Structure 1
């Protein structure tokens, strides 16, 4: 249940007319007093994302979280296929109640073999309600048409049958949420959870806005927030003070010392319009005798440093703003050739900008270019001056530059906090006893006013130490619920052209994971995947599918993990080798070759047998995956049994017949130097040319050996001796995986992993170990450039249930 309460607090740090109509959408069933809604389109993906999020795992240790986690225990029984809403509300006794809404299907509610679970049916007034109890926690559920509705409150269940009103404002803002992100949250004021997402205690969510709807993308080291906030057209919500103004570029970070606790900045293009709006909100007259100080100001900022604060005015006309301060030029100090003056109106900012600013002790100021800085102490002014002159402000820090990429340059209101203030905001909302947040150097939320609503952007990001040249850095450690079954591999995202990760666990669930660690989907398969997964373009439109075999199925899955008709194809007899995919002429007329013992079956993409392929049976069990090779204009299909090697043409007829017979190893067949190449069971290298001439070479390999080749590079591993292009290296004695060759960026890379000591080695074509290897790894690796930078990455198994993504810098 951990994911429910964790998601609930994602937004903390950042942070109506009714019509009677027929209910058809999930949002139509939301209880009237709901103050917070969590929406997810993929519950399994959400659960795994939360489990892998470093930041959210810290939140999960709080008492408030644990209490609600226990209350929501019964929700683990749900297996939704579509959108699911989790609604929170308080009843008349101020007790927290939850409601779950999703579309019903036959496998939604699984209680088979469940311990400590009881249920009974309550039938009255032509209604049927199920009362369920799991470990002493009781909840109620019912079906309304095709919608499953469950709640911790029986009263809420009763009300859903009677309430025919739909909140049109809620429905409108609900439509702005996306199905492509990990989750979405809709929050209303006066909710029992989130009180504020600002440092300033005078700013609270109840008076800030009405509805907030955000999409949240959860990755291992960051949480990205995008959405909107909408308030009624009135003077009762703070967000509307920006109505009629145009957001300006926020520059407070350019003067904020990097050792500060953070800052807040708000902007406007016309101070008079802004002041009029603010006066209506506060319901007090503006201070006319100080108006001239702000006439040419387009940004007001507050810098936080422990309990001290500094107010920043960003002026469009420095001379005019200085003129407004002519009576305030009593020099009291000079620091680094910057004059510091006394200021006789220390409460002017609180009086003019409350509740955005509550600071009343700004009795000193200085001028730095177009910034006018007001503070209580000389020390904070000196710190600001020194950092500004030394170019050690927040804007110069790499961690701020990282989060700035997620934010817009111009915003109506923005706040940026350091780890200490981030923790304070969380504790303000009841999340006490949080672990260390020291690596979250900068977190931010901003609001960009636009007509009658505001855009919302936010980010919480774990800062990374800048990679050293030639270093190997661990970028992701992705944990699954169950142990990993096979070797993780990269596949191509045809939309972004970047790489994603596909892997299977021991319960035969197949996962697609983004290169940022987000689990995109999980699919239950009939059995373990045989070999590696192929990608094909079955519709010839640039969209790629995953094609592979399990012992009794051939699957073709689309980008979202859905079966592509007419697949999966079912087989009564076991499939004994990985699925072979051939594209003879590179025109996407794919052929899928299925191996069953000594038999081969050739299919097209309609799962129909190809009648022109005449080969039916080998002389014995086929011991390696069939492969397709092209030499000149001719195609060759090759595979072998223990004592016979087959080289066929497209139709399955013999194209090349080896002139000698041998007893073969189970090593694959390769095309090396335009010759069919493999090994005998004794470790001799066998090469066969297109005329059937056979050559045997003694490479002094043991019976326990492995080979891998490209067209020009031969790699062998015999016991602990690795040979690359006739250059050998002695490895420590161990249990080594098969070697793999990668040709990337015009370079050859060779890798092996010692499964006994969990060490992964990477060599160049000259058998030289790359710097900073070996690294920790528990399987053979897959290697590629997974994103848009120039660095190569590789994946491997880590612990039993984890995947490690490394970057070679």
Structure 2
């Protein structure tokens, strides 16, 4: 059983078979005497009928009760609509036993009260079903098969027990006779700690059994670590609040003792990557406790350099669709790590500190694998996968973090603000159980008087459906003339809010604020490149840099041209492509231009030509701007020509071994790059116009060459990439149709279409097509089904996931506007 609140689906079954025709009275015997210490989950309910109706009113479990509600209504009809009088003023305990790795089996225990057993027997016989009886340890066990299901019950004194598994009935009889087998005696500390007001009922959980049921092989290291740090058993008081199930109580401790401590605020959760699946935070005010919580021996000097806080997260690597673990630590401001941080490239450092390796390792085995990290303010984010760190850094620059998601933000606000241990799970993704109705789960613990105060929250997935509203233009700016380029989003250095750069047909450039107020405007040549954000003066203030066919421009936020700009075209041929490279994140930028005649120039940031590239002459035009990657400290410049030849060069312009490679195919599709830990595993992906897919590593080896399925004889192929580089979409087209897999969509003007692809998260991906003739943009999924309402638009759009909404920036005629789609 792998769904949320699994125990709820049987809550009323005991009522159906044990409370029938008479009002109940509690006896002096305690039903806890029959509850076994082997129970995995125990649910204790007073006034079951009242609690049942409360649960039905709560949307968090309403859908789980559909079938049981039907049974309840039928049984109520069987009792002449008089079931309420038989369920009031009683108590029921439902105990679940783990009988296999995938199943929990319930047994129901309650006071018999004035229940007339003869009446029950009579009603069952009237249904044409027989009853067998046998003795076990001098107690009578009754068994009956109803609709191919076995039901077993017994009456001990004036307590009745019921289960579909006779072994559980026998276990309850043994437990009653031997107090050493009883849950309450073995876990007396949980009962003594009950100081919380009851609401729906009480819940007792044996955590190891629940983790075993999850059976998540892909994340077994994390599961093992969570099991190590979480106590074995917990007591909770249950409350339902709309979409939230709240459990609060205490957890049992092992024999080890802890120093006095305080719960602390989680300073890491707000910088977690956007693609986080699970997260563990451990923090303390006491060094001894901190290492005990982490199940590690004290590491000397750790607390001198780092805060006593560690975050561990499982993230989904969009490049590989695999799960990677990252560890986050917070450095103390007084620490100086510049001498020990070993820079590899582009802000990626190699972790050389072996003491950190010890606390990062979440297993009991020695871990000597290489690890890398990036710096975000006072934090370091550590991973074995460089590609994960690159993606994290990109998303942070785009102001995308886990808690910026609407459902995560809402859930975080419901959690405790401070703790010593906190676990947060995106349940369906973490368990790979996408049919589950659970959305998010948190488990938080705080050390109070050597006891663990524990809270567990669950949210319903129904609260997170991404249903979008109709078009809602919330911001608008009217330019002097018709607009001609895609709105470019940049993030302000003042407050990191999105601002817009655009241009009209008379070549006026506009810089707009977040509120679409004009910051500055200038009349220049037509922009023909990407618009890059740079920090030219290394003062954490942003400028923009771009090109026209004759010049390279750069402006600060006030609209002032930077010193030395515009830079004149270094070639007699028009600038066709532009790129900006920052080799080692030193902000000593290199400007790359490629030209109609195949020339490539490298310039320093003041415009001076660099040796080896002044120019480099290629035999054909380039498909796109030359690209740069750094792997293991080496710089690679990737150049793809339209004739299908691919070059890989170093900073001086020399070819790497194995290059150039001639594919003898025509190319108009841009390159996609998958960076890994080594040149061998780092791959360049190419798709020719006729549908041949190549994967070439940086050692010059073609590791894959495969022809795509061609739906029609003259089909051509396109590969478009999400702006973040996270993923791509391959599709084909002919004169009349666009094809994705076995789906197709008809158009009568393919040549007028502009294509884009945005991958916001696992469940939100948009294939965007803009028809410049009809001035319409449509939003599709990979099945070519419509995802959003079409919008009036004639240039490519920009789209960002920002501040609990999806913002679409579009332009038509001389109007640029922003559509806000609430999640």
Query: With structure 2 as the length reference, what TM-score do the two structures score?
Result: 0.43
